[in-house]
Amino acid sequence: MNIQIGQKHTGKALITNEMILGFANSTGDKNPVHLDQEYAERTFFKNRIAHGMLIGGLISAILGNEFPGNGTIYISQTLSFLAPVFINDMITVEVEVTGFTPKKWVELRTDCFKQDGTMVIRGTAVVIPPKDSVLLP
């Protein structure tokens, strides 16, 4: 695969109750703001929210499966959580190549948006691309 600065990839995922429950069970993060509707109604969110790292995991899925794809090795990720994600929100993950490191690793912008365009995560990542990748300026 050829990889060049400015190249973009987009993926989408619908956030479901099952995803939130599965994430809570897998990680042990059982904060009631994610799992207990009555509790969540008393917060400023007024409703249950998805785990921020669940949404961050959508980025990982794109990087490892779609772009740059199978064989990608995650080196680092920064995430700023900007807005809540609720059950039934459709999340769009946008990945864009922003540069290359001296080691020929790939620097990426990794941002996530809700269906109304609200940015919910602003992020950056560094990955080692799959071995068959060609980095183009």
Is 69 exposed, middle or buried (CB count within 10 Å of its CB: 0-12, 13-18, 19+)? middle
pTM score, whole prediction: 0.94
Instruction: Confirm whether 87 is domain-assigned.
Output: yes
Query: What's the pLDDT band for 137 if we cut at 50, 70, 90?
Result: confident
The domain that holds 100 is classified in CATH as 3.10.129.10
Task: Give the angle subtended at the CA of 9 by the CAs of 1 and 93, to the nearest 5°.
Answer: 140
What average pLDDT does the chain have? 97
pLDDT digits (tens, 9 = 90+) for 21-34: 999 999 999 999 99
Q: How many domains does the chain have?
A: 1
Range of 59's domain? 2-15+50-130
105 located within any domain:
yes
53-97, pLDDT tens digit by residue?
Answer: 999 999 999 999 999 999 999 999 999 999 999 999 999 999 999
Residue 31 lies inside a defined structural domain of this protein: no
**Within a domain: residue 25?**
no
